[in-house]
Amino acid sequence: MVKDDLLPLRAECTMLFQSNPYMIESIDGLEQRLGRKREIIVPVLELLVKQGILQLLDDESLPLYRYKEPFIITELEGKITPEGT
């Protein structure tokens, strides 16, 4: 499956986890929630983990996934000035 074909499912998975930020789910649970087969879901989950959107709670017998809150800078530590000033 081409990466572009996975874009709608990537968005759907991201929205599901963002809407339920405390949800921890297995691949089987995601199959039921999303109505998609494991073969299609696993590459999307792997990509979202690589992108830092999801966190894999690696259990050898049952891998679980959860939303990973983005790191947000709330305060700048230095002042940015235009070049030459």
Measured CA to CA, the distance from residue 50 to residue 27 in angstroms comes to 17
> Domain range holding 62?
3-67
Task: Give the total number of structural domains in the chain.
Answer: 1
Q: What is the mean pLDDT of residues 60-67?
A: 91
Residue at 78 is within a domain: no
57: domain CATH number is 1.10.10.10
pLDDT in tens, 68-85: 987 776 666 666 666 655
- Is the residue at 38 inside a domain? yes
Kindly report the pTM of this predicted structure. Answer: 0.76
pLDDT in tens, 3-33: 667 899 999 999 999 999 999 999 999 999 9
Residues 67 and 55: their CA atoms lie apart, in Å, by 6
